[in-house]
Amino acid sequence: MKKSARYISYTNHCSLPVLLLLTQVVAADPFVESSGFVYFEAEDSQVGGDWISGTALDHFSGASYIEWNGPDLFDPAGAGRDTITYQFEITNPGNYELRWRTRIAKGDSNTESNDSYVRFPSGVNIAGEEPLFGWQKVFMGHHGAWFWDAKVNDHVGANVRQFFPAGTHVMEVSGRSNGHAIDKIALYRYESLELSPNDLDIRSGTPQSIIDGNAANAVSVNNDPRAVSEIPLGLQYTPGECTNGTLALQPVADVHLLNGGLLNTGSLEVSPLVATTLMRFDTSIAPKFDTAELELTVIDGDQPATIEYALLDGTGWAESDSALDPAPQYVLQLALEQRTWNSNTRYSIPLSAGNLQSDIINMSIAAVSAEGGLTVASRENSQQMPLLVMRGSGDFCETYRANVTALGAEAVEMESTSTGATDDTTAAGTESGESMQTEVTGVTQSNSGGGSGGGAFGLLSLLALVGLVTGRPRRGEKHCSIHANQSAHLPCHRFRQTV
């Protein structure tokens, strides 16, 4: 690293000449672009002036992040103070987009402490894109987490795009809003690479599965000493039925994120840089459990791969969506396993039960190694679907069945107070509820009744009632649901906190 000093003059509001010393921090060696992508940690250039190096915010990448601790410099005349310069070398000339992983470090507004100045002295404006002239305010609009986003023009929110010919270039960053933290910076050829936040994390070496967080700095990781194991193919438990202290639930939704788009098929892809699987489990009526495992069947594998299972925050995606918007936030790592994942093999992955005590469990499955991936069966595969297997002690199953009954009683009460429902619509709703449960669990009423414990019969009866008030949830709404893609509009009961 090296520092250089330069002086500029401008006129202040009193029309007096002012001489400012602007410290410029320069990275010694350029970061080399490869296959249309180049990234660097924000701390890769030495921090100087009013830039500080921070580690207080969770889920950062690398050794630290940087944060502007100087005054707010909303007047563009203040741009250039304590400039940090990143040199990068372009080997594949073309149109590049800037994305950086930043966070609002102070306050509770998504429009304050959310921007810094950026300049590309050697960049060339692109026809049809927002032109850049000198120092530009580059902002994001997300509070409470790190996020890959970079926009210019307050009233437009345009992408930051420039043409770079082959050769060495610089990106300059200068402080603007006090409390704006920067973790990582990336430039990529957007016309040939469609990169989601998860893709950016993986390509830039952020060891996490989706959007936010850092596996090395996560709030907690899986501390379960049990090992991943191979188990017999097929379902060993009936979904929705609790027997001998064991309850198995299938996902209420599962998709895979492929090149920025969501796909809902009979299989789920997990591959580095390309595909990540998302799953959602509704455990709102499950009592507190002592242990948990995720069971899944690998359809296509036979190669070494490091797979991360992570907990996500947010339920703003549905199987019918074409894109991930709004994006869920990374919370913590549930498990990390490096092995050869054999084709046509079912695995049990131990998860820390203490991290899963919530009504809705969203998780991601991602390949975090440079090579290797796998394909797993989705919930549409009735014989090999994923299962979340929970085990509890004492009256675990009895409490679960009581919760099912209580939720069914509430559905009846809500239906009795509703208006405008005819006998025809009631009958249709009941049939819809029954057929939906058959699709969700992958079992029929006859084989459900054959299991011991009686839980499946109660669940089917409940769904016949819940079907009366079933409707598509509004985006972002939180429901206690045991339907796939549909939700009973009932308040979420946190049964685990009341038993």
According to CATH, what is the number of the domain 229-391?
Answer: 2.60.120
Pairwise pLDDT comparison (474 vs 179), residue with the higher score? 179
pTM of structure: 0.48
Q: Quick one: what percent of the chain has pLDDT higher than 90? A: 46
Confidence of residue 468 (pLDDT cuts 50, 70, 90): very low
Domain boundaries, the chain: 2-193, 229-391, 397-497
3-state SS of the chain is CEEEEEEEEEECCCCCEEEEEEEEEECCCCEECECCEEEEEHHHCCCCCCEEEECCCCCCCCCCEEEECCCCCCCHHHCCCCCEEEEEEECCCEEEEEEEEEEECCCCCCCCCCEEEEECCCCECCCCCCCCCCCEEEECCCCCCCEECCEECCCCCEEEEEEECCEEEEEEEECCCCCEEEEEEEEEECCCCCCCHHHHHHHCCCCCCCCCCCCCCCCCCCCCCCCCEEECCCCCCCCCCEECCEEEECCCEEEEEECCEEECCCEEEEECCCEEEEEEEECCCCCCCCEEEEEEEEEECCEEEEEEEEEEECCCCCCCCCECCCCCEEEEEEEEEEEEECCCEEEEEEECHHHCCCCEEEEEEEECCCCCCEEEECCCCCCCCCEEEEECCCCHHHHHHHHHHHHHHHHHHHHHHCCCCCHHHHHHHHHHHHHHHHHHHCCCHHHHHCCCCCHHHHHHHHHHHHHHHEECCCCCCCCCCCCCCCEECCCCCCHHHCC
**pLDDT at position 205:** 60
CB of 482 closer than 8 Å to CB of 461: no
Could you tell me the sign of the dihedral formed by the alpha carbons of 458, 460, 465, 467, in that order?
Answer: positive
**pLDDT at position 452:** 34
> Domain 2-193 is in which class?
mainly beta
- Residue 129 pLDDT greater than 70, yes or no: yes
- Residue 429 pLDDT greater than 80, yes or no: no
Average pLDDT of 371-379? Answer: 89
Pairwise pLDDT comparison (367 vs 29), residue with the higher score? 367
Confidence of residue 423 (pLDDT cuts 50, 70, 90): very low
Q: What is the pLDDT of residues 145-185, one digit of tens each?
A: 888 999 999 888 999 999 999 999 999 999 999 999 999 99
**pLDDT at position 216:** 34
- Residue 485 pLDDT greater than 90, yes or no: no
Domain 2-193 shares a fold with domain 229-391: yes
